[in-house]
Amino acid sequence: MTTPVATTGAALETRGLRAGFGAQTVLHGVDLDAPAGAVTGIFGLNGAGKTVLLKVIAGVVPARAGVITLDGAEIQRLGPERRVARGMAHVPQGRQMFRSLTVEQNLRVGAHVLRRRDRAAYVQELERVFGMFPLLAERRRQPAGTLSGGQQAMLAVGRALISRPRIVLIDEPSAGLAPAVIDELLESLAVIRQTGVTMLLVEQNIRFGLRLADTALLLQRGRIVYSGPTGDLDADALASHLGVGRLLRDDLTAGLRGSAAASKPTRRTRSRAAR
């Protein structure tokens, strides 16, 4: 049974979250708040525990200790499917398409909880996703394995959105994509945020992530070492926390400068294909 708790206005909260594998502890008491309707970016070097954190929140990896609340109710003891039923969706690293299934069949898999509860709502949500990503509608009967990397990224996001989530966990959406496709992905995610969906975003591409995120969390060896609005971030301090050199420091500066522009999406994404 879930327990109502006092909230800070965040859609999702973790307190004292610990997790790991065998004798190895990866997360060491992580506290985070994901404000409702905003994009919270989680950044850090490889091995910092970013993907593990998302998997623990999604219920894929069990928490060893701590509390996870979604809309004020504890969910750390719930399985992944019950978390989906409560309004959570997860876009895993690598997108994990069912390559032999068609685009529409992949979307049906993402909507399995919704279809069991309300088949009519599923039809409406399918059309809504196709409306957001017209290219997916054009390729609805095409095997997912034949799509380009950018198209698969759109399908992964669409598969998460079709369950009508209140919060979406997105792990490395820009991984392996060409720069032009990354720009279109950024516009797509910015359009989605306008719908009021809360996002928790893990990104290795810091410039991309900073252009989308409202709040930045820096994870270092399984601990949050910084949390605050992206508009208040200092590029030098951020680079120091991440241990990056001058080239990446310039990239961080560009990302911070572009964060405001990313909050004003165009409609180009709705009409152009993610190549």
Helix (H, G, I), strand (E, B) or coil at 73: strand
Q: Which residues, listed in sequence order, are joined to residue 25 by a DSSP beta bridge?
A: 20
Asked if residue 4 belongs to a domain, the reply is: no
Asked if residue 27 belongs to a domain, the reply is: no
The DSSP 8-state label assigned to residue 267 in this structure reads: S
Whether the pTM exceeds 0.75: the reply is: yes
Q: Would you say 18 and 27 are in contact if contact means Cβ atoms under 8 Å apart? A: yes
Residue 39: domain span: 35-63+77-267
Among the residue ranges 196-200, 231-235, 242-246, the one predicted with the least confidence is: 242-246
Cα–Cα distance for residue pair 165/159, rounded to 1 Å: 11
Asked if residue 14 belongs to a domain, the reply is: no
CA dihedral 26, 66, 31, 56 (to 10 degrees): 50
Q: Would you say 162 and 126 are in contact if contact means Cβ atoms under 8 Å apart? A: yes
Asked if residue 8 belongs to a domain, the reply is: no
Asked if residue 30 belongs to a domain, the reply is: no
Asked if residue 17 belongs to a domain, the reply is: no
In this model, does residue 9 exceed pLDDT 80? no
In this model, does residue 246 exceed pLDDT 80? no
Asked if residue 272 belongs to a domain, the reply is: no
CATH number of residue 140's parent domain: 3.40.50.300
Asked if residue 175 belongs to a domain, the reply is: yes
Provide the sign of the torsion angle of the four alpha carbons 162, 167, 170, 174, taken in this order.
positive
State the total domains in the chain: 1
In this model, does residue 115 exceed pLDDT 90? no
In this model, does residue 240 exceed pLDDT 80? no
Cα–Cα distance for residue pair 242/26, rounded to 1 Å: 17
